Structure 1
Amino acid sequence: MKKNIKKAKLNITNALELPLDVALDLPKVTVIGNIKVEITNHKGIIEYKNEIIRVNTNIGILKITGDSLEIKNIFIEEINIDGNIEKIEITN
């Protein structure tokens, strides 16, 4: 049932040409080189250290690892992270 609802939402979103991240409440991750990550539509910070930042999203936990990681801005729906980014992964 849940899978059918998700598929229906996707079909309607595509038919109306709406942005997927907004219509389906998905995170949007923008990576600029290896120095900046912008995450839109997050659900909060789980862990914040110099070498690891974990952010909760609707599709799982977004884990950013690297060196000198720093949250530059945090807003209700957006986080900007700077530093030497080595790896980005999503886990359930």
Structure 2
Amino acid sequence: MSKKVRKMTAEWLDIPADVLTDVPRIVMLGNRQLQIENYLSVESFCDQELVLKLGKGKLHIRGDQLWIRKIYTEEVVIDGKIGAITFLE
């Protein structure tokens, strides 16, 4: 199914875009935890920086004492002091 058809289907059925498309869903709990769905891979990681590859571009997370609490095929949970989140194309 093409991206255009998925987007139109999501709009027509009033389904959130992240359900039918490959856009990331990001939930931030204060500045202490991030839950990210629909990522492709972890490109780099250390306690001050994490880079995730997305369907389109990358997600760059900076902070202190970062660590991966959970990692699954399509979801990752990051704990620590989140300082900045940047989308890179």
Alignment partners' CA distance in 2, 1:73 and 1:89: 21
Offset of 1:16 from its aligned partner?
A: 1.3
Deviation for aligned residue 1:46 = 0.3
Instruction: Give the count of matched residue pairs.
Output: 88
Q: Give the match's secondary structure for 1:80.
A: strand
Could you say what secondary structure the match of 2:9 adopts?
helix
Determine which structure has the larger strand proportion and give its number: 2
Where do 5+ consecutive residues of structure 2 fail to align? none
The structure with the largest alpha-carbon Rg is: 1
SS at match of 1:44: strand
Q: How does 1:1-92 map to 2 (within 5 A)?
A: 6-92=3-89
Compute the TM-score of the two structures, normalised by the length of structure 1.
0.88
State the Cα distance separating 1:8 from its structure 2 match. Answer: 4.4
| Range 70-79 or range 6-15, more displaced | 6-15
CA separation in 2, counterparts of 1:72 and 1:6?
Answer: 31
Moved runs in structure 1, 4+ residues, more than 3 A? 5-9
What is the percent sequence identity of the aligned residues? 31
Q: TM-score, normalised by structure 2?
A: 0.90
RMSD value, Cα? 1.3
